Structure formats: C-alpha cells, structure tokens
Amino acid sequence: MSDNKVIIVGAGPAGYVAAIRAAQLGAEVSLIEEAQVGGTCLNRGCIPTKSLLASTEALSLIRRAKRLGIEVDGIKPDFTCMMERKNEVVSRVVKGVEYLLKANKVKLVKGKASFLDLHKVEVKTPEGKEKIEGDFTIMATGSKPVLLPFIDFNHPAVLTSERALELTQIPQSLLIVGAGVIGCEFASIFGPLGTQITMVEMMDRILPQEDKRISLMMKQILQKRGINIFTDTRLEEIADYQKDGLTARLDNGEKISAEKMLICVGRSPYTEGLSLENLDLRLDQKGNITVNERMQTSEQRVYAIGDVVGGYLLAHVAFEEGIVAVENALGVDSKIDYTSIPNCIFTSPQIATVGLTLDKARERGIEVKIGRFRFSASGKAQALDETDGFVQLVVEEESGEVLGGQIIGPHAADLVHEIALAIRWELTVDEIGSTVHAHPTLSEAVMEAAKKAQGKPIHMT
C-alpha cells in the first residue's frame, strides 16, 4: 500500500480509472475535472453515439420486419425521444462513475487546472482558487475535434461530432467531411433517419486505416443505402453560408448544398491553458505528450495517459494506460501490450480489427496466408437476416500463428475478442480451428476462418 498523494488532471476514461486504481493502492487521490466526469467518451462520444445507434438499428430492423414474418405499420422515428433517451443513458453512466469515485474515496475537484510547478496545481473552481500538492501527477486531459481554419464554426449549419449530438431536429441533408471512424458512424446514425448524406474523404478510400477489403465493402454498403461518397477529394471552401444551410465547393469542382455540415477530420490533444511551460514536458510534432512504455513523461514524477499522448484514441486503451501509469508511479512494475488492442467501429454492420492486416504484415516482410469466412455461409447470420460481411484471419505462413484479424458483420465488436486473445497468447489457427464452437452462433465464423487458413474448410469452399 502507498501513502503518496496523486493528482490526476482529467476525469475521462483514462483519468477516472487511474484515480480508482490509485485509491485501491492506498494513495490519496485528487481528481480534477473542468466539465463532466466521464470526459468525451461518456458525454460526447462512445456512450451517446451508441445510444443513438441502438435506436436507428432498431428502426432499420423494424423496417425489414416483413422479411422476418412481421407486419408493422406506421413506422416513424421520434428524434426528440431518441435524444432524451440518449441523455438519460449518459446521465446514468456518469452517475455510476461518480458513485465509484466516491466509494473509492477519490476527491473530485471541479474546476480548471494549471500547473504552478512539478508538485503544485492551482484549480479555478466556482468558489475560487484551490491549490493542490502531490507526489505524482497524471495528465489525462484528452483530445478535442480538429477545426479547419477556413470554416466558420459559429455558423449553425456547421457541426463538430459534439454539436451533432445536440441537434433537436433531423437534418434533411448532411455533408460529412471525413469518412473515417466518426464520419461513418454518424452516417450510420442519420442514414436510417432519412437524412440525405454526402461524404467527402481526402484519402483514396473511406476508413483509410482499415483493411482495404473492409473499406471497399463498407463503401458499397453505404452507397447501396443511397449515401453519396467522394474519395480522393478535398473540401476547398464554403462558397455560401445561408440561413438554413450552406454550399460547399470541392476540389473536383462539385458544389454540395446541405442543411448541415459535419466536420470530423481528426482530433488533437487538449493541453491549452494548463501552464505546461512550468513543466519540462516533451511534446511531439502533433502536440501529444511523449511518454515511455511506463506512461512516464520527460518529468520523472509526471505521467500522461489517454488521448493526450496520441497513439490509440480509444477508451479501452485509456483505461489500461491509466492503470499502468498509476501502478508504475506507486511502485508496481506495469506495462501495456499494444499488439492485441481491438479497434471497433460501430457502423451498421459493425467493423472490428485487431493486430496486423495483410498489407502491414507484408510490409514487415512476414510471409502470411489468409483465412476468410463470409457471413453469408453462416447459419446464424442467415437466421438473423444479417449476412453482409466476413471474418478474416492473417496467419503466419510457417507456424500458423494468428497475427491479425478483421471482421465486418453482425456483432463484430463482440466477436473480435477471441482473435485478440489468440494474438495476445500467440495461438495458432490449429488451436482455434480445433476448439469446438457452439452451433448455431456467429462466433463459428471465427472457427471457420481458422479452418480455411488450415486448408480444412467445412462450410465454405
């Protein structure tokens, strides 16, 4: 147990988990948060978007209910009710985190933090200023949306991902600039609501960080749903701002008019106003705080975790980094293994990946083979009427070790963890393929992909 004092700046996923773990190790913990507990994830990201996706996915299911033998009339979305439910879900989750902090005797300080020196932080609270001293400090200040400098973000037609979650009416038309994870998730939210969507992506494909086969299939699915997609195209300027929308000019000469425009071209670390000049912290070219494998900064007693260090901008990575930082600060040797981090995209259908793609493996000079199984050959997927997509395993040629996996299809975010576990413990496709999976289940697709890589396919040629 420890009797150290730990200051944590930021109560998002990284910060609140770090605070709880530090308290478990016996530290006296002060957790400073300027806004709401839970950060972007709970309040303006993961939780509210998944709540809305649950509503729009239910809407899509009802619309195709006749294929399942059910007649439904008078279907229409109630956007006000959807947003109210989203707010209720967020409130419950935030209150749950606040309860955990209180139960673990974490001192929550509401206010804006700035560093006086290595061991002192000043917090501007509604009541005044409070100075907090600590033996260790953990930076968990998160990130914010990147704002394009030539766009007027004060105009009501211009949205960030955060503002999009505050809409009170369904937009008739939406221009989404950036067809990465956030852009594709919002397309999956507003598409079923009847919004006419156009997506613009500067790279040569949507979801450019994903396996090419997955990017292509997702593009085809979105286009089939009536979404217009421009790739290898940039937003050049806003030709005209109107009272009820805007007109954008693309670098291919196209003019797009829309009621709303959503800008989701990335996120940047949040470090402004913290008086970091009073610390000797090293930053990279993008402004991320640099850390070692122990999440330790260039200041020995200062650690940084979550989005503010760059890398994986994922809540579950932030959770783990928070634990690793605190344990190292308080004398427990701890490291994070990034090789088996699952990355999930909550589009419809879902996408989940882990480890190496085929291209990345080949870039490293690794001889690999592929095991792929389509959901159209899955009995459970057929029963669910959700047959788009596939499971793909990237396998080391000689040993059969699983190096990566990519899934697009029903419940991909749940299925990916079997592959993550295989990568983490260096399992082979023989070991996955010979493990009996329950039938009929979607997880059989992982087993079938392994059998395909073995050269022993059963339900697929």
Reply yes or no on whether the pLDDT at 422 is more than 90: yes
Residue 398's alpha-carbon distances to 17, 227, 372, 406, 454, in angstroms, are 41, 43, 18, 21, 11
pLDDT digits 0-9 by tens, 263-303? 999 999 999 889 989 998 999 999 999 999 999 999 999 99
Residue 385 pLDDT class (50, 70, 90 cuts): very high
Residue 118 pLDDT class (50, 70, 90 cuts): confident
Total domains in the chain come to 3
For residues 246 and 378, state if they share a domain. Answer: no
Residue 127 pLDDT class (50, 70, 90 cuts): confident
Reply yes or no on whether the pLDDT at 1 is more than 60: no
Is 150 inside any structural domain? no
Q: What is the pLDDT of residue 216?
A: 97
Mean pLDDT confidence for 107-121: 93
Is 151 inside any structural domain? no
* Closest among 70, 273, 83 to 166, alpha carbons compared: 83
CATH number of the domain encompassing residue 325: 3.50.50.60
Is 128 inside any structural domain? yes
Mean pLDDT confidence for 411-438: 97
- Catalytic residues, which ones? 439
* Tokens standing for residue 358: 């085929």
What is the pLDDT of the chain when averaged over all its residues? 95
Q: For residue 113, what is the enclosing H or E element?
A: strand 112-117
Q: What is the pLDDT of residue 2?
A: 61
226 CB-near residues (< 8 Å, 6+ apart): 191, 196, 197
* Tokens standing for residue 261: 């425009």
In the chain, the amino acid numbered 213 is: R
Place of tokens 């996120």: 267
For residues 85 and 163, state if they share a domain. Answer: no
* Closest among 177, 209, 203, 142 to 344, alpha carbons compared: 209
pLDDT digits 0-9 by tens, 186-200? 999 999 999 999 999
3-state DSSP assignment of residue 73: coil
Q: Taking a C-beta distance cutoff of 8 angstroms, is the pair 228, 105 a contact?
A: no
Other Cβ atoms less than 10 A from the Cβ of 24: the count is: 16
Given 265, 289, 315, the domain boundary residue is 265
* Residue 180 DSSP label: S
For residues 82 and 230, state if they share a domain. Answer: no
For residues 248 and 296, state if they share a domain. Answer: no
Picking from 68-77, 197-206, 317-326, 351-360, which range would have the lowest pLDDT averaged per residue?
A: 68-77
Residue 377's alpha-carbon distances to 146, 215, 316, 419, in angstroms, are 42, 21, 32, 20
CA distance 304 to 300: 11
CATH number of the domain encompassing residue 410: 3.30.390.30
For residues 168 and 241, state if they share a domain. Answer: yes
Is 430 inside any structural domain? yes
| 170 CA to centre of own chain | 24
Residue 325 burial (C-beta neighbours within 10 Å; 0-12, 13-18, 19+):
buried
Is 409 inside any structural domain? yes
For residues 331 and 344, state if they share a domain. Answer: no
For residues 60 and 24, state if they share a domain. Answer: yes
State which residues form the domain around 237: 158-265
Contacts of 118-122 with C-beta under 8 Å, sequence gap 24+, read: 118/279, 118/299, 118/301, 118/302, 119/301, 121/7, 121/9, 121/32
pLDDT digits 0-9 by tens, 11-33? 999 999 999 999 999 999 999 99
pLDDT digits 0-9 by tens, 33-79? 999 999 999 999 999 999 999 999 999 999 999 999 999 998 999 99
For residues 252 and 278, state if they share a domain. Answer: no
Angle at 286 between CA 280 and CA 292, to 5 degrees: 55
Is 152 inside any structural domain? no
For residues 13 and 141, state if they share a domain. Answer: yes
Q: What is the pLDDT of residue 80?
A: 97
Given 336, 365, 388, the domain boundary residue is 336
Is 197 inside any structural domain? yes
